[in-house]
């Protein structure tokens, strides 16, 4: 689909986003996110958030919901970061839970890249170097995981 929207039923973006926040913040968050309902890939991003909430990490990892909520707050404040994130999430809902988890990891990497492009590290080369090392290590781990997956003999259901 050229516009990046799925034809399947999904709940409104604002509803999918507010579900990640404590009840006392949901009204304010909903108002903010209603403005983004018609952005490209908004529907698939909504579906991605719903799939993410059903992952093992979301159910069992302490602080996971808070991490997602903090990240969503950053997306609401930056159109560029939001557009990048919506695009990254566009194909995550078409596959298994592992694909959703991988997409979440990829989305988390868009934030520091965005911050660097906005000049956040211009006066702190040590922090930029540390970030670069961290991202390099993550990339190596992802390569190892991809190689391992290729060696496994199973069929996705």
Mean pLDDT by 10 residues, the chain (157 residues): 47 96 97 96 92 87 92 94 87 62 76 82 88 82 71 57
Residue 1: what pLDDT? 38
pLDDT for res 49: 93
Helix (H, G, I), strand (E, B) or coil at 155: coil
CA neighbours closer than 13 Å in the CB half-sphere of residue 75:
27
Active-site residue, from 35, 56, 70, 96: 96
Residue where the block lists tokens 């906005």: 118
96 is annotated as an active-site residue: yes
Are 94 and 45 contacting, i.e. CB atoms less than 8 angstroms apart? no
User: Which domains are delineated in the chain?
Assistant: 13-120 (1.20.1270.130)
Residue 95: the pLDDT is: 58
User: In 3-state terms, what secondary structure has residue 41?
Assistant: coil
Q: In the prediction, which pLDDT does 27 show? A: 97
């Amino acid at each position: 689909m050229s516009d990046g929207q799925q034809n399947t039923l999904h709940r409104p973006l604002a509803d999918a986003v507010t579900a990640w926040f404590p009840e006392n913040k949901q009204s304010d968050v909903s108002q903010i996110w209603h403005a983004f309902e018609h952005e490209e890939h908004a529907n698939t991003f909504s579906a991605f958030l719903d799939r993410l909430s059903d992952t093992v990490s979301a159910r069992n990892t302490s602080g996971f919901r808070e991490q997602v909520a903090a990240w969503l707050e950053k997306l609401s404040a930056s159109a560029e970061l939001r557009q990048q994130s919506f695009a990254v999430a566009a194909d995550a809902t078409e596959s298994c839970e592992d694909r959703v988890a991988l997409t979440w990891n990829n989305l988390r990497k868009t934030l520091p890249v965005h911050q660097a492009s906005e000049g956040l590290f211009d006066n702190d080369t040590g922090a930029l170097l540390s970030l670069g090392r961290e991202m390099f290590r993550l990339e190596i781990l992802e390569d190892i995981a991809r190689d391992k997956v290729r060696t496994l003999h199973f069929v996705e259901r």
